[in-house]
Amino acid sequence: MVIFGEVDDAGIDTIYVERYNLTLRHGISRLVRESLCFSKCKEMLYQCYNNLIRVNSALTIKTKKGEKNIVRTPCMVEGITDHIWRWKELLMIKWSHEI
């Protein structure tokens, strides 16, 4: 991640980065240390799944008793998307090479 501008050092906490690394290591065999697994994929499909499709229980908003809790993905929290994606939506998206 690239951050421009001034950063408040008090707000930096590595626990979130370490947790995300752990999730990736368990989810992608090629990131597991001392693994002999081979992966041919160039894109990180698992990262897209983890950020757009997979609901993260730590990001769930608890509601009043009797109401349905609001489940969210990391991209929903960051405001990148407003809904939980489905596999079909992820696989059918047209990626642009322009930034």
pLDDT of residue 39: 55
On whether residue 98 sits in a domain, the answer given is no
- The per-residue pLDDT for 16 is 76
In a domain, 6, yes or no: no
- Let me know if residue 2 belongs to a domain: no
Question: What pLDDT score was predicted for residue 41?
Answer: 58
- pLDDT mean over 17-38: 66
Between CA 17 and CA 23, with CA 38 as vertex, the angle to 5 degrees is 20
Q: Please, where are the H alpha helices in 1-99?
A: 15-27, 45-48, 74-77, 87-92
Range of the domain at 28: 12-92
What's the mean pLDDT in 38-63? 77
Domain count, the chain: 1
Q: What is the pLDDT of residue 84?
A: 94
Q: What is the model's pLDDT at position 46?
A: 78
Average pLDDT of the chain to the nearest whole number:
76
* pLDDT value of residue 90: 87
Residue 92's nearest CA partner among 38, 60, 52, 35 is 52
CA 29 to chain centre: 17
C-beta separation of 14 from 7 below 8 A: no
Specify if 5 maps to a domain: no
